[in-house]
């Protein structure tokens, strides 16, 4: 089988083997000739604050508020204005619920040596 390869105004007839070898060769050359890009800018630091949350609208029985965000001024402290997200870990009052029923017993395996 013969393939015709056109590049601009030139045309060449190549066998399948020649075309395959040329493809591998070009692939190897392009892999070897790439330039390493320069270093990028440093990323931002993400911080969290865990703060006691009083009983109220967010947590009926109080708990903790977890603020998270990017340290925009790079001072190592998550300022109130830098907090992007607040989540709550709430206590609950009241008694525990009823215990669930026991599961089935497991199997016993014996090994003799």
pLDDT in tens, the chain (113 residues): 444 444 455 555 556 566 666 666 666 665 555 567 788 888 888 999 999 999 999 988 888 999 999 999 989 999 999 999 898 988 887 777 788 898 888 887 777 66
Nearest to 87 by CA among 54, 48, 56: 48
Spatial distance between the Cα atoms of 46 and 39, rounded to a whole number of angstroms: 21
Q: Are 64 and 89 in contact (CB under 8 A)?
A: yes
The residue ranges of every structural domain in the chain are: 2-30, 46-90
Please give the model's pTM, rounded to 2 decimal places.
Answer: 0.49
- Cα(5)–Cα(15) distance, rounded to whole angstroms? 10
Mode of pairing for the β-strands spanning 10-15 and 63-70: unpaired
Q: In whole angstroms, how large is the CA radius of gyration of the chain?
A: 33
């Amino acid at each position: 089988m013969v393939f015709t390869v056109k590049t601009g105004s030139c045309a060449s007839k190549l066998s399948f083997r020649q075309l395959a070898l040329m493809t591998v060769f070009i692939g190897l050359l392009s892999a070897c000739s790439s330039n390493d890009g320069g270093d990028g800018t440093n990323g931002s630091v993400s911080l969290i604050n865990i703060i006691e949350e009083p009983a109220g609208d967010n947590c009926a029985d109080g708990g903790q508020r977890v603020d998270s965000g990017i340290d925009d001024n790079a001072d190592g402290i998550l300022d109130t204005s830098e907090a992007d997200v607040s989540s709550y870990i709430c206590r609950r009052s009241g008694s525990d619920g009823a215990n669930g029923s026991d599961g089935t017993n497991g199997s016993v395996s014996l090994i003799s040596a």
